[in-house]
A and B are shown apart, each in its own frame.
Chain A
Amino acid sequence: MKPIIEVQNLNKVYKKSENEIKVLNNINITVGEGEFLALMGPSGSGKTTLLNLIAGIDKPTSGNIEVKGVDITTFGESALAKWRSSNIGFVFQFYNLIPVLTAFENVELPLLLTKLNRAQRVKHVESALKVVGLGDRMSHYPKQLSGGQEQRVAIARAVVTDPLIIVADEPTGDLDRNSATEILTLLERLNKEFKKTIIMVTHDPHAAERASRVLHLEKGDLVDNL
């Protein structure tokens, strides 16, 4: 499998007053193109921090993260924002939909950062919502949808720009078992059918089973490679 992400000697240290808290210690990972990787570990193990660093929404203390051969740790604030908009799709535990926008408008949001015109955007949004099975809920507001449906809208928003990588932070953490199964099936489908590289943080061993590889973190260290 061709590598898409290469994490080398990655360290992250948070400073709280005069104390330094090491969150990640010298992490080295390679993720292959089209891989479905699960990051597991107890709370505070650094899995979300690792995910945030790979997604370019946080900066490491030291080390490199190369995505498709480009070291994103050298990017400035605005270059990183631009890079995220075209390479990363985000799925959050609490969906993070904008409550005042409809499902359609939420999914359209990342497309506003592209050069697509209105007609092209409409086409992309409709396709994405159909893929997640919500073609008939486009004009619904988040509060009019169930938790599972909200997360499916969030997944549509994550894939609408056709990004290289989808990062999902506890995507089933706020859902009941049935909805969680639906979401995992959807992610699995995106991985297998649409060849999306997915990195998912989860506590749930059932969720991790869907991944092609699981990495365990503990106190900032990579403990095994299953």
Chain B
Amino acid sequence: MAIPLKYTFKNFQNRKTTSIITLVGIALVVFVFATVLMMAYGIQKTLVSTGSPDNVIILRKAANGEISSIIDGETQAVIRTLPHIAKTSEGTPALSGEAVSVINLEKQGGLSNVTVRAVSPEARFLRPQIKLVEGKWFNPGLKELVIGESVQKNFTNMEIGSKIRISGENWTITGIFDTDGSGFDSEIWADAKEMLNALNRGNSVSTLTLKLDDIENFEKFKMAFAADRRLTQFEVKGEQQFFEEQSESLAMFIKVLGIFITVIFSFGATIGAMITMYTSVANRTVEIGTMRSLGFSRRSILTAFLFESLLIALTGGLIGIFFASFMQFFQISTINFNSFAELSFKFALNPDIIISSLIFAVVMGFLGGFLPSVRAARMKIVNALRSS
């Protein structure tokens, strides 16, 4: 039978100082680990929520983002003739040709890139999640624009009525919109025709976003798309899938870098746990000898000490996650590798991150506690008793 758990718990309480120091070390490492994962997940969540599940995006093959894609006017006309495209309430095809470019704007600490999205009037029909929180929508044909809430928060002089200089001309901010934390919040939107003129892009857009009459018809739409020889240089994707792919490289970079740093930190925490457990074994040599005399097996001793180490690590892990969870209230921004523009996002926690962080803590506890526990279990009873 195993040594009672209360023995482990009481020893944990009895050696508060050393246990707490080890626990804090593990909690800090888990905090960093969880925060890195929350950052990567936050980026993914933001970009995935940018796309709508029933929207479809068309872009040039091999373009690794909207900014490197181009669709000429002729191709746009061909796409408009494809079957299964839904109609707006005005009866026009639910399709928005969007030109994406990047401009520099001033923020605290210098300049940063912002995505400017030139959209067709149908864009609002395609993205009903967009809510105007202040001002009014831009007027087609005028040099007006609306900005996402994150742009307003992060950049200077972003009030309604303020001017933004694009291609040597002043554009007036008429409204501020919110999309519930999606990537659009970090963008500036303007009328497609007006912006294409300003940018001298003729009628070439970056992408076409459209809504299908029924998302179940996606495969049929893809087949019709693939069957048209004029569209061989273009590809069609679900909008959500596209934005998810857009998040992969940045999220992966943050994960790899973050985990690499955390693993280095974890060596320190593991050694800390090991020192604590070696001290614990050394201080309890007589107790080990006594328990072995009474008939407790080597395995019971090993389990009891290993459990103690895991208990410290798990408690540290839970504390680390607890504090990391508060990071969800923070919003930060970074440069998206695909758009080269700033993307605001919130740290986001999910059950997978909690489980991964706890496993990480338990692994640290196991590695730190294993050798001391083996030492305790392998002690000769007579030698252990003699140390009294």
Binding site for B on A (CB under 8 A): 52, 55, 57-58, 77-78, 81-82, 84-86, 88, 90, 92-94, 96, 98-101, 105, 109-110, 112-113, 157
Contact = CB atoms under 8 A, between A and B. Distances in A.
B89 interface: no
A58 B286 CA distance: 16
B296 A81 contact: yes
A29 to B, nearest CB: 20
Contact of A112 (B4, B14, B289, B385): B4
Contacts of B297: 77-78, 81
Contacts of B388: 92-94, 96
A186 to B, nearest CB: 20
B290 A92 contact: yes
Q: Is the interface of A mostly helix, strand, loop or mixed?
A: helix
A78 B10 CA distance: 27
Contacts of A81: 292, 295-297
* Residue of A86, A88, A109 most packed against chain B (CB within 10 A): A109
A113 B296 contact: yes
A190 to B, nearest CB: 18
Interface string B232-245: 00000000000000
A211 B11 CA distance: 39
Nearest to B287: A98
Contacts of A92: 290, 385, 388
Nearest to B388: A94
Contacts of B11: 100
Given A85-B294, A96-B287, 17 more contacts: A55-B293, A57-B293, A57-B381, A58-B381, A58-B382, A77-B298, A82-B295, A85-B295, A92-B388, A93-B388, A96-B388, A99-B14, A100-B11, A105-B6, A109-B4, A110-B294, A113-B294
Contacts, number: 69
A113 B2 CA distance: 8
B250 to A, nearest CB: 50
A100 B10 contact: yes
A52 B295 CA distance: 14
B300 to A, nearest CB: 9
Given A96-B286, A98-B7, A109 B382 contact: no
A110 B292 CA distance: 10
Contacts of A96: 286-287, 289-290, 385, 388
Interface of B: 1, 3-4, 6-7, 10-11, 13-14, 286-287, 289-298, 381-382, 385, 388
A128 B124 CA distance: 83
Nearest to A87: B295
Contacts of A101: 6-7, 10
Contacts of A98: 7, 287, 290-291
Contacts of B296: 81, 113
Contacts of A109: 4, 291, 294
Given A98-B290, A100-B7, A84 B385 contact: no
A184 B379 CA distance: 32
B1 to A, nearest CB: 5
A102 to B, nearest CB: 10
B216 to A, nearest CB: 61
9 tightest A-B CB contacts, nearest first: A85-B295, A100-B10, A96-B290, A57-B381, A84-B295, A110-B294, A113-B295, A94-B388, A58-B382
B295 A110 contact: yes
Nearest to B8: A100
Contacts of B291: 98, 109
A166 to B, nearest CB: 13
